Structure 1
Amino acid sequence: MSVMADLSISGEEFVLGTALHTHADVHVELERVVPSSQQVLPFFWAIGTDFETFERDVRGNPNVQSLVALDRIEGRVLYRAEWSEEVESFIHGIAAVGATILEATGDRVWRFRLRFHDHAALSEFHDYCVAHDIRYTLDRVATDIAVEREEFGLTQEQRETLVLAIEEGYFDVPRGVTLTELAAELGVTQQSVSERVRRGTGTVLEAALLEADGNR
């Protein structure tokens, strides 16, 4: 049975995270992907407003060989990056055991949700990190079935945001709270809250409606 693992890692340990961290009001998300040991995460989304500063800072990082904006949609930009050789042993460790990156977000601290084939693969990944002196925090381990039953596959941040949004009346008519107010209470940007609500709501609806129709 496959295993889901939530873990966090500092930007100092996650080199790509350091390369993508800037002072711009931009939040970075990695889409669901199975990393390849030959090519390290060439695509990622940036969400925010100050993309000019973000691009200048990222291109100035010595670990970035090139950065190209592929698509721009409503405050989101899809980028393709070329990194320096051997830039990210952490991602190589994920690739080595065939794990899937389900979600990854962050700036100074990155949070990953990974799917491993089984507990043995998770153990192999841990051994890889120990051997390469990569320090991370394992926040949670659960089977796919347990995660879906407990939280419909939501990330911890999405669940926290949706619960707060419901409690504060965000989904009421009229709304009892704005995204700006939710962002202030959570201590994150309005764009981050918007993304969590949109993605989290979509995940819950997909799990509830498609499973009910027998399409999952």
Structure 2
Amino acid sequence: MAVLVELTIDSQDFDLGRVTAVQDGIHISLERVVPTGGEVMPFFWAEGADFELFEASVRENRIVDDLTAVARVGDRVLYHVFWGDTVSSLTNILTESQATILEAHGNDPWFFRLRFNDHAGLTEFHNLSQAEDIDFHVERIYSLADGETGVLTFDITPEQQEALVVAVEDGYFEVPRQTTLGDVADQLSISPQAASERVRRGADTVLRKVLLSRSAADFE
């Protein structure tokens, strides 16, 4: 099953980050989903910049063959960057681990949302990054349900998810607790015992996925 990861990386650890970190207050974001098997990070939006100065600074970088302004929408400009022969370690790592960049934006640090074919790809990404001394901070790891684009799953039943959502929203896990399992049961029109079983089993499954899985444990 596909694995999605949200993480942050220092701008100095990849080409686009280094090249565009030329002004304070500038924000860069990838224009669309870009599979890393082909042309990597060719289009990006820039905003909050002195665009003439920005363009000149980017073009002066030795790893940039050319930079073209494709479109301007309000205070944002869409650019197409043509990379030279030098490719950052991160680009190679993304390609070798068969990752797809679903989202990337920032300046320093950058936020990335990546999709891997499976946990093996994620593990390879981690190992290759360590070998290249690329530090990243994992914000979130989760799976994409088969055949349901955009639907996240921790392998819990719909009933368990419904009970957990009510419990979390009403403050059952807060300290001190803001509600009881009896109140959760009343909202769901089920018995307190059924509410207890759904919340406990659902929470146990989610916590095991997050804390005990190989990838979600920060690879330790």
TM-score calculated relative to the size of structure 1: 0.61
Give the secondary structure class of the aligned counterpart of 2:34. Answer: coil
User: What is residue 95 of structure 1 aligned with on the other side?
Assistant: 95
What amino acid maps onto 2:94 in structure 1?
A: I
1:58-97 paired onto structure 2 within 5 Å: 58-97=58-97
Name the CA shift for 1:73/1:81 in 2 (closer, same or farther; >3 Å): same
* Alpha carbons 1:102, 1:115 under 8 Å: kept: yes
User: What is residue 205 of structure 2 aligned with on the other side?
Assistant: none
User: What is the CA deviation profile of residues 125-158 of structure 1, one whole-angstrom value per residue up to 9, with x for unaligned ones?
Assistant: 112212323222222211124x7459xxxxxxxx
User: What is residue 27 of structure 2 aligned with on the other side?
Assistant: 27
Q: Kindly, what percent of the aligned residue pairs are identical?
A: 41
User: What is residue 16 of structure 1 aligned with on the other side?
Assistant: 16
Give the secondary structure class of the aligned counterpart of 1:104. Answer: strand
Asked whether 1:124 is paired with 2:124, we answer yes
Q: Distance in 1 between matches of 2:129 and 2:76?
A: 32
Q: Distance in 2 between matches of 1:34 and 1:121?
A: 14
Q: Distance in 2 between matches of 1:82 and 1:119?
A: 32
* Alpha carbons 1:40, 1:88 under 8 Å: kept: no
Tell me the CA shift for residue 83 of structure 1.
Answer: 2.0
* Alpha carbons 1:48, 1:76 under 8 Å: kept: yes
User: What is the CA deviation profile of residues 137-191 of structure 1, one whole-angstrom value per residue up to 9, with x for unaligned ones?
Assistant: 222211124x7459xxxxxxxxxxxxxxxxxxxxxxxxxxxxxxxxxxxxxxxxx
The size of the alignment, in residue pairs, is 149
- The root-mean-square deviation of aligned C-alpha atoms, in Å, is 2.3
Give the secondary structure class of the aligned counterpart of 1:40. Answer: coil
Tell me the CA shift for residue 49 of structure 1.
Answer: 5.1
Give unpaired runs (5+ residues) of structure 1: 151-216
* Alpha carbons 1:5, 1:113 under 8 Å: kept: yes
- Answer with 1 or 2: which has the greater Rg: 2
Name the CA shift for 1:24/1:57 in 2 (closer, same or farther; >3 Å): farther
Tell me the CA shift for residue 65 of structure 1.
Answer: 2.0
What amino acid maps onto 1:102 in structure 2?
A: L
What amino acid maps onto 2:53 in structure 1?
A: T
Give the secondary structure class of the aligned counterpart of 1:12. Answer: helix
Tell me the CA shift for residue 14 of structure 1.
Answer: 2.1
TM-score calculated relative to the size of structure 2: 0.60
Q: Distance in 1 between matches of 2:126 and 2:25?
A: 33
What amino acid maps onto 2:95 in structure 1?
A: A
Q: Distance in 2 between matches of 1:66 and 1:133?
A: 29
What amino acid maps onto 2:70 in structure 1?
A: L
